[in-house]
Amino acid sequence: MKNSIQIGPTDTINAFLLFFIIHTAQIGIGIQGFQRIIYQDAKHDAWISVLLAGLATHIIAIFMLKTLEIYGSNDLYGIHQDVFGKWIGNLLNIIYIFYCSGAFFSVLRNYIEVVQTWVFPDLNTWFLAASLLLIVIYTFTGGLRVIVGVSFFSFVLSIWLFPMLAYPMKYMELRSLLPILEADMSGILKGVKSMTFTIVGFEILYVIYPFVKDKKNAKKHIHLGLLMTTLIYLAIMLVTLTYFSGEQLTKTIWATLSLFSIVKFPFIERFEYIAVCFWMLIILPNLCLFLWAAFRGTRRLVKVSANKFVWVFSLIIFIASLILKTRPQINTFNNYFGQVAFYIVFVYPIILYVLAVAKRKFKSRKEQIE
- What are the residue ranges in the chain where pLDDT is below 50? none
User: What whole-number distance in Å separates Cα of residue 252 and Cα of residue 266?
Assistant: 27
SS3 119: coil
The phi, psi pair for 243, rounded to 5°, reads -100, -50
pLDDT the model gives residue 20: 94
How many folded domains does the chain comprise? 1
CATH number for the domain spanning 267: value is 1.20.1740.10
pLDDT the model gives residue 364: 72
- Other beta carbons less than 10 A from residue 33's beta carbon: 18
- Other beta carbons less than 10 A from residue 26's beta carbon: 27
Any domain includes 41: yes
pTM for this entry: 0.93
Any domain includes 369: no
Any domain includes 276: yes
pLDDT the model gives residue 4: 63
Any domain includes 301: yes
Any domain includes 3: no
Any domain includes 52: yes
pLDDT the model gives residue 315: 96
Any domain includes 160: yes
pLDDT the model gives residue 8: 66
Any domain includes 200: yes
- Expressed as residue numbers, the domain containing 295 is 11-363
Rg (CA), the chain: 21
